[in-house]
Structure 1
Amino acid sequence: MKVCFYGTDEEITRICERPVLAMVGPRRSQPVLAFTLAGISISTDPYGTIYRLAADLTEVHREEVNE
């Protein structure tokens, strides 16, 4: 799945430093899913204040997290 994150330099750096991202489902019954980022591309607006990180999310399965 392709995703984009927008934020300041500090916010984008925090996302890139994490090996695994967790996303909570929209309902309590859905589990928390773990993802890794791949194919990261970072660009900036013409004024250099907001950055855009585009990446592919790959789901991490429970067996891979426990290794």
Structure 2
Amino acid sequence: MKIRFYGTDEEITRLCERPVLALLGPRHTQPVLAFELVNVRITTDPYGSLFRLAADLTEVEGSNRD
């Protein structure tokens, strides 16, 4: 799965410092899944005010799938 985040330098830095992301399903109907960021690419937008982080997500083994 591919994912993109847009944010300031500080926001992207905070995101990159986290090795694992947890995603919740809608209205808690799906279990919490943990993903690791892989192939991270960071670029600036044409206006230079925001940065874009693009990455592939791989599911972390052992995440809750009940």
Using the size of structure 1 for normalisation, the TM-score is 0.85
What residue is the counterpart of 2:27 in the other structure?
27
Q: What stretches of structure 1 move > 3 A for 4+ residues in a row?
A: none
Shift of 1:45: 1.6
Work out the CA distance in 2 between the residues paired with 1:57 and 1:22: 11
SS of 1:40's partner is: strand
SS of 2:26's partner is: coil
What residue is the counterpart of 1:9 in the other structure?
9
What residue is the counterpart of 2:48 in the other structure?
48
Work out the CA distance in 2 between the residues paired with 1:26 and 1:37: 22
Work out the CA distance in 1 between the residues paired with 2:29 and 2:2: 25
What residue is the counterpart of 2:57 in the other structure?
57
Gaps of 5+ in 2: none
Letter in 1 for 2:31: P
Aligned-residue sequence identity (percent) comes to 70
Number of aligned residues: 63
Gaps of 5+ in 1: none
